[in-house]
Amino acid sequence: MTATVRLSRRAFLQGSLGVLTLAVTSSGLVSAARAADAEAPKYGADSMPGGTVDDPLVFVSIAEDGTVTIVAHRAEMGTGVRTSLPMVVADEMEALWERVEVVQAEADEGRYGNQNVDGSRSVRHFLMPMRRVGAAARQMLEAAAAARWSVPVSEVRAVQHEVLHEPSGRRLGFGELAADAARQPVPTADALKLKAREDFRYIGKDKVRLVDLEAIGKGEAVYGMDMRLPGMVYAVVARPPVVGGKLRKFDGSKALTVPGVLKLVEIPAFQGAPAFQPLGGIAVVARNTWAAIQGRDALEIEWDDGPNGSYDSVAYRQELEAASRVPGKLMRDQGNVAEAWAKAPEAERLAAEYYIPHLAHASMEPPVATVRIEDGRAEVWTSVQNPAAAQAAVARRLKLEPGKVKVKVLLLGGGFGRKSKPDFVDEAAIVAQAMPEGTPVKLVWTREDDIHHDYLHTVSIERLEAVIDGSGQVQSWLHRSASPTIASLFVEGAKGQQITESAMSAINMPYVIPNVRVETAEVAAHARIGWFRSVANIPHAFAAQCFIAELAHRAGKDHRQFALELIGPARRIDPGMMADTWNYTESPERYPYDTGRLRGVIEAACEGAGWGRELPEGHGLGLAFCYSFMSYTATVVEVKVDASGEVQVVAVDMALDCGPQIKPERIRAQMEGGAIMGLSLALASEISFENGRVRQSNFHDYEVLRHQASPRVIRTHLVNDDHELPPGGVGEPPVPPVAPALCNAIFAATGKRVRSLPVRTVA
Amino acid sequence: MTHLQVNGQTRKVDVPDDMPLLWALRDELGMTGTKFGCGISVCGACMVHIDGQPVRACVTPVSAAAGREISTIEGMEADRIGQVVQQAWAENNVAQCGYCQAGQIMTAVSLLKTTPAPTEQQINDAMSGNICRCGTYPRIRAAIEQAAGSLVSGGRQ
Ligand code: FES
Ligand code: FES
């Protein structure tokens, strides 16, 4: 048997036999930001629940055979984070990747730091903590070797799973040193020696294969949907078709006669704002998923639709349009937009309105959770972005201490923001509570459930008004958003975008324009509004980026040239100067708005696409760009529009500057996937309501891009791999510029301006 | 009791005749490699082969599958073309979340069995029933082309 040197305080306290442990006096390392004055504002990771943890005792253990086990504390939903962050640790500690095992952490933010895989934060917040974890582990191994040989630690160094003493040529493997290393003190923050960039073996290179790659190809990877336990029962829920609706009465007698159906469980409807609470309804519990679905079909239910029963997307669009044409709540004000507009001759004014409907996330794995309650404890197996939120929801439901709820995180079959909301885990807990003690319940959402009851991307009208003078200078810019807010999820009746939405490409625009005004219309929400990959950047960037192309056209200038002039020279802007006091929670000093980097991605995308080249008949190139989640992106789309108005995407060039590039191959994968998701929403996807109900139900009417419509060519251009810069996000930033680039390309090809998504065909 | 021939083995399931094969595989036999994505034959996540033909398990009743040769993703390692496709998938780092990929691979294998050197159009036609929400289509295409290339250079089936 291999004795594992578990660098863990818990094991030390347990004093387990055969486990060599480390006598630690400090609780590990304190990140610089956390050590800072407690009165200072908290930014970034430090403002998140759990903050960051960079204690090697928590993340690394080494077995006597040299196997290094590294904890992946964040859930994998397709970005590659389960590989990237452990890879960073391995690199810093000089562990050979072939001898690394990755284990997935349960929900425990006290132990691991923040675990919410949301907001493109994983590498942004944990690159440096994971580097410190790896460096600390390496230095402990080096100190152990130096002590063993009685040589100064300065004479030894860790190299590829061994520590060398160069003067004598002696060497010891990590496994041989594990026990001694565990007895070394954890280096203090100022004693840590991080690797120089040229010494990286894995960071910034594509040598490491994804940990789940082979298992996925063989069908062996285990997703939340794949959870199985002895005696498990399956549940599906009939939910109110209208948000806020309630059960009036139901007859379950037929459902109970369906073979395999075991029980019906009423799910209480939420009180107050929806938040992450279940919608309510009736759960059908059965011996297998099919029986549960059949049982649900046999339920006879009368619903009380409540106040949202008249929600209708056609009428609501008119409401948004009307709201966008009158003054709204002020978000940013500079100069005097009203005066500039009033004074400008008609010929110098330009106004346009842009529409994007609700969107559903539609991850390929619908929401699913398995819960078992026994002996005053609950165990949860699920695929969620935010395990701590799932833990809190179940603990609240079952009136347990969070510590009595174990949340085991399985692979996510996609997330895109949907799976950060644990309503489905709460539902599973309600059903498990109604079953005999110890019965594992797997609660499955069908695709219809997912489309009908998603936390939808908002629906929006964005109105832009500009004054552009005879020399093509933009003198005034008004951006007014009319769009139900995410805040309505948490505060009943909340209206108008919050700074967290407006600071996603509405207020924080850096253009050299003397008069700027950004407003939000206070419109009510009639659906659950959630966050969808890149969130409010989607409608804001769509509108602003199309509008800039329209202004360039009006000025008779090349779009690229016009945009670069509008952005102005390279400079670092304090977000506060643009009324952005949020800045994705990051420090304005660390993360200013850098127009030089924005210019850089525009140039890279245009160069990749051959901007300005001669194009075949019916083809057009369109450009758009965006700053989001601390990264800079630009997209150039080439389209071909045929005589019938059919749009074909020929090629997409995606440029991204996310600062240091940790796993470039996965960054490119996110850029490719972002291009496809952006094209999906631009060309195909729409959720609409009638009588308060979502009209679409599955992939036949909620369409997403398929192979056929997918572009032949997606070129990715990574710009500015600079480890002096703080890391930016990668998962979300590729999405926002895609739809406007497409519409700008359609205009270039046809002279027709599309201001409403999805495009479908060009009339 | 229904007898199913799955990946060369006889498996018994005690389920209603109209239960889709998908749920018999997943819930009754514990073969969870075949995925649930839509349940109505529009996403391809549940793709299996029955007597060599690509079939969507979510709309195929067990009664229609009984007594025929069913292959699932779990059987692809033992299949010459399946193995080549799986390898091409890994070499091209196709997967993001990976949830759709079993279905994508099953469809690709069946394409390459009937059409060893598919044209771009044939790839599109065969694969357009398989949705990938993560957007891995360019890499799927590359992997199919690579697999086709290595099958051609590796001789005929
Ligand atoms: S689950 Fe069968 S085609 Fe979608
Ligand atoms: S890889 Fe995620 S759905 Fe295809």
- Does A405 lie in the same domain as A338? no
- In angstroms, the CA A593 to CA A580 distance is 10
Is 50 exceeded by the pLDDT of residue A711?
yes
Q: Please give the order of strands across the beta sheet that includes A233-238.
A: A261-267, A281-286, A233-238, A441-444, A368-374, A377-382, A405-409
pLDDT at B152 (0 to 100): 86
- Does A637 lie in the same domain as A611? yes
Nearest residue, CB atoms, B74 vs list A219, A416, A665: A219
Number of folded domains that form chain A: 3
| Chain Cα centroid distance, residue A414 | 10
pLDDT single digits (tens) A660-704? 999 999 999 999 999 999 999 999 999 999 999 999 999 999 999
- Does A335 lie in the same domain as A389? no
- A505 within some domain: yes
pLDDT single digits (tens) A499-522? 999 999 999 999 999 999 999 999
Nearest residue, CB atoms, B137 vs list A222, A665, A707: A707
A87 and A202 Cβ atoms separated by less than 8 Å: yes
Query: Residue A556, Cβ neighbours under 10 Å: how many?
Result: 8
- Does A339 lie in the same domain as A376? no
- The domains of chain B, with CATH numbers, are 2-72 (3.10.20.30), 76-156 (1.10.150.120)
Collapsing DSSP to helix, strand or coil, B54 comes out as strand
Interface test with B, best of A212, A364, A702 (most B CBs within 10 A): A364
pLDDT single digits (tens) A741-752? 999 999 999 999
- A760 within some domain: no
Residues of A within 8 A of B26 (CB-CB) are 226, 289
Outline where DSSP puts E strands in A511-646: 515-521, 572-573, 593-594, 619-628, 631-641
A691 and A312 Cβ atoms separated by less than 8 Å: yes
- Does A534 lie in the same domain as A467? yes
- Does A317 lie in the same domain as A255? no
- Does A651 lie in the same domain as A583? yes
- Does A437 lie in the same domain as A344? no
Start-to-end C-alpha separation, chain A: 71
pLDDT single digits (tens) B39-76? 999 999 999 999 999 999 999 999 999 999 999 999 99
Q: Which residues approach ligand 1 with their CB closer than 6 A?
A: B 36-39, 41-46, 56, 58
User: Torsion over CA of B80, B83, B89 and B90, rounded to 10 degrees?
Assistant: -150
Q: Nearest residue of A to residue B124 by CA position?
A: A708
pLDDT single digits (tens) A93-143? 999 999 999 999 999 999 999 999 999 999 999 999 999 999 999 999 999
- A1 within some domain: no
Ligand nearest to the Cα of A213, by number: 2
Q: Is the peptide bond before A758 cis (omega within 30 degrees of 0)?
A: yes
Distance B132 CA to ligand 1 centre (A): 12
- Which range of residues forms the domain containing residue A728? 313-360+455-750
Distance A727 CA to ligand 2 centre (A): 26
Is 70 exceeded by the pLDDT of residue A360?
yes
Express as a percent the part of chain A with pLDDT over 90. Answer: 94
- Whose CA is closest to A383, among A442, A300, A341, A320? A442
- A267 within some domain: yes
Residues 6+ apart with CB under 8 A from A512: A565, A566, A567, A568
- Does A374 lie in the same domain as A349? no
Closest ligand 2 atom to B98 CA? 1
- Whose CA is closest to A416, among A351, A352, A367, A484? A367
- Does A487 lie in the same domain as A391? no
pLDDT at A16 (0 to 100): 30
Is 90 exceeded by the pLDDT of residue A627?
yes
- Whose CA is closest to A42, among A722, A615, A583? A583
- Confidence band for B156, pLDDT divided at 50, 70 and 90: very low
- A450 within some domain: no
pLDDT single digits (tens) A437-479? 999 999 999 999 999 999 999 999 999 999 999 999 999 999 9
Last residue of a domain, one of A214, A235, A259: A214
Last residue of a domain, one of A397, A416, A444: A444
Q: Closest approach of chain A CAs to the CA of B71, in angstroms?
A: 12
pLDDT single digits (tens) A265-283? 999 999 999 999 999 999 9
pLDDT at B155 (0 to 100): 52
Ligand nearest to the Cα of B41, by number: 1
CATH code assigned at A466: 3.30.365.10
Nearest residue, CB atoms, A214 vs list B45, B90, B139: B90
Closest ligand 2 atom to B104 CA? 4
Distance B96 CA to ligand 1 centre (A): 19
Count of all residues that appear for chain B in the document: 157
* Test site for ligand 2: of A76, A210, A364, most ligand atoms within 8 A of the Cβ: A364
- A71 within some domain: yes
pLDDT single digits (tens) B77-127? 999 999 999 999 999 999 999 999 999 999 999 999 999 999 999 999 999
Q: Residue B40 is which amino acid?
A: I
Distance A235 CA to ligand 1 centre (A): 19
- In angstroms, the CA A182 to CA A143 distance is 10
Q: Closest approach of chain B CAs to the CA of A717, in angstroms?
A: 16
Ligand nearest to the Cα of A414, by number: 2
- A758 within some domain: no
Q: Nearest residue of A to residue B72 by CA position?
A: A219
- In angstroms, the CA A155 to CA A147 distance is 11
- Does A410 lie in the same domain as A300? yes
Last residue of a domain, one of A162, A196, A214: A214
ipTM, two decimals: 0.97
- A745 within some domain: yes
Nearest residue, CB atoms, B93 vs list A226, A260, A669: A669
Residues 6+ apart with CB under 8 A from A700: B40, B42
- In angstroms, the CA A594 to CA A725 distance is 11
- Does A121 lie in the same domain as A241? no
pLDDT single digits (tens) A202-227? 999 999 999 999 999 999 999 999 99
A354 and A506 Cβ atoms separated by less than 8 Å: no
pLDDT at A38 (0 to 100): 54
Whole-model pTM above 0.90? yes
Query: What's the mean per-residue pLDDT of chain A?
Result: 94
